[in-house]
Structure 1
Amino acid sequence: MSCFVIGGGGLVGGGTVGLSKSSCGRCSGGVRVSRSSGVRMKAEVTNGASPVKKKPKKTIGGVIGIIWGIAVMLWAIILIVPMAILHPLVRWRDDTRRRVHDYISRWFFMVPMFAIGVRPRYIHRENLPPADEAVVYVANHQSYLDIFCFGFIGLHHKFVSKIEILRVPIIGTAMQMKGDVALRRGNRKSQLQTYRDMLNTIKNGNSLVIFPEGTRSETGKMRKFQSGAFKAAKATGAKVVPLTIVGTREAMPNSALLPLRRHKIAVEVHPAIDPKNLTEEELSATARAAINSGLPEEYKDEISPAAA
């Protein structure tokens, strides 16, 4: 899931200055004057500080991306209808698990991938848990497409997703009806509520899907793991199932709004890790080492995963 840092600056001397000549240079006091539109110039204080880096513009995909985007929007609109109609019945008969919604949402993830001719290949499916066992899936996070790979896992699960995503019209509404967990990053009280929701979800027999890096990797290499997934596994006794996702970054890098190209995608399922005799730190390091082992060499940890 992604976070944005917003920076700001101040105006000096009214913000813009007029010059009689169409030239540029530096005036005293650390004010850099640059050409704007012929005679009007913008003044910017430098004072020896590094310029603020602008966030690169997102690349919009070509035909592949457009097809995928249309499929996502249309399919979301189509699927929200049966979910909304069935929701009262689902709440009445299966409120703690909502498996009908899980099944419907699975198609939301699969159809856009089918539309661009991509079907993730699952390696070592025999390591997947029994359908009735609640586990914590943890995976590396390189692309938005990572989320869509879980439509092909064939088992019920709930995502832990940023609360902002759950507020998005249609898609967020469907996630709320499905019972996905809202990740709150505000004060400690909000974070504790998220943690309690995670525990209750597991105790009710649902598996959780968590990207412990917290956001997508810019480089393809794993970021530092957050502890929430492993705390929840320790508290409930749920096994941790590490997954290595490969190929999504090549299809839809972090710089892209939509998929750029077709690319083979593979999801390697590693053996489940029993948290019983491990500390949270050991559990995290063991899961990270497993995920790291399945990554291409250029994305592997440069240091020991246990020390990351």
Structure 2
Amino acid sequence: MSQRSKNHHYVPQVLQRRFAVSKQEIWHSRRGEDGLFEAPKLRLIDKTFKLRNYYTVEVDGVSSDVVERRFYGPIDDYLGKVLPEVFESFDRGVVPTFSGRALTSLQRVVLEMTKRTPDFVAAYVDETKGREFVEELLADTSGELLDEDRVVLQKELGNAARLREYGRQIRVTATVRESDDVHEALVPFQARWVMSRGTHSYILTSRMAMRIGNGGHNGLANPDAEIWMPVSPKVCLVLVRDAGRKIPLRVDDSTANIRQFNEYAASVSREIASHSPELLESLTGKKRIEPSLVRETS
């Protein structure tokens, strides 16, 4: 347990590399305490889109990285295998297609990408959730709570760190819990590819995969709902209902739509990144900090 992973990436490094300047660096901006994006900086990808102990849970009373290793690890491995195959197909002039079990796997991975980020359930709610949990236990009058346990819980109401641990356990457990209803709702969705053929590029954000309602709510029950997940500056995977097979496997996106998507993605995300500092400057309204002046390593 002493060797457990403590720094957890919610945007996999394998995906970051598709948007990076090099294998190790990416232009990046995050929101400050004022809610505004900071000036873009060139950062190491192993230092971006991560939080300490974000997926840590307790197993038999001991802090464990089991969720990071056994749940998100296989998802990251999947992306590390599938993304190169996707781009190899495009390089050969073949549009990648998914069906059967391959499509089901893709659907479920994209779904998990929508949930794994702090933009889905913010980490700062952990203490609040933990406090609610402890208060509910203390409010139980059934007599099942032992007096000595009640004393411990009363003390823990004043222990912010312990409340965060309780809340984190609740958040992580709820996030990774599978739902048959949700999986069933994903069945009609097909994989399509939206491409940028011009100079405009998609950004990478901490939200990664975004549900878009097209005028309605963004829940999967909305027949017009789509899930957009950029997988490179020029390629965006879209899950969409297309029972009549009317939507081409590949669609060229317009400059205006890419800009609209980027603006929306930035507006609902706490962090954004790109290979292009100019793109981040245009979205943040801040001039980049040149690497010669500041090199961010943490």
The two structures have a TM-score, normalised by structure 2, of 0.25
Larger radius of gyration: 1
Q: Per chain length, whose mean CA-contact separation is higher, i.e. which structure has more relative contact order (CA < 8 Å, sep 6+)?
A: 2
